[in-house]
Amino acid sequence: MSGYMHNRQKKQQGFTIIELIIVVVILGLLAAAAIPRFTDVSSDAEDAALEGVAGGFASAVGIVRGEWELSGRPKGAASNGAGAEVSMDQVLLYVDGNTGYPVSGDNNAAHDENIQAADCASIMQSILQGAPTVSEDFANLEETRYFTYVTQDSTTGNDMCVYYLANTIKNEANAPSGDDYLTLGNAFVYNPRNGGVSIHSNNQ
């Protein structure tokens, strides 16, 4: 009887090296199959997040433009469109006095040919309720949802705001600029000359 118990205990000591190798190989194959699918899901989520914010942004731009019309199309003090004000739910916004589209949340010198990255950030913060965090500091990507910079429309020469989903450029060595949004990361672009908002998704 004691010999039987001894043999039984020996059989329960654990897996052999061969068995462990087989388990590791199977787990590796499962992981390799799951990673591409996980990447696809992540890309879909990024696209959905970008489209949601861009859609809300475009709607808000249209509402601001409508308020400018209802306010009698204020022109501001300058012929270039700077200094025109619109109040939305007691929030003061600056629009281009020639077009009625927002150009800043706090800079009365802004117009569609004189926009800074800080103006782009303040536009998003001012026109969206519960706006996502946005920064013009590329070194701050880990602490913000969107990174923004200014580029120019190649046809008309006016300034445009580029809003990058920060997570899609966090591995880049240098801050995107110019028309990088056409080939790099996920972004939407706001053109204050015509109020247009375009989405650019470059998921790999």
Rounded Cα gap, residues 186 and 103, in angstroms: 22
Are 104 and 112 in contact by the 8 Å Cβ rule? The answer is no
The stretch 21-48 carries a mean pLDDT of 64
Reduced to 3 states (helix: H, G, I; strand: E, B; else coil), residue 71 is coil
- β partners of residue 201: 186
Q: How confident is the model at residue 33 (pLDDT cuts 50, 70, 90)?
A: low
Q: Please tell me the predicted confidence (pLDDT) of residue 29.
A: 66
The predicted-structure confidence for 125-172, as pLDDT tens digits, reads as follows 999 988 999 999 999 999 999 999 999 999 999 999 999 999 999 999
* Dihedral of the alpha carbons of 114, 117, 119, 125, in degrees to the nearest 10: 160
| 147 Cβ neighbours under 8 A, 6+ residues apart | 134, 135, 136, 137, 138, 140, 141, 163, 164, 166, 169, 175, 176
Q: What is the mean pLDDT of residues 3-28?
A: 64
Lookup: tokens for 19: 């068995």
The reported pLDDT for the residue numbered 30 is 65
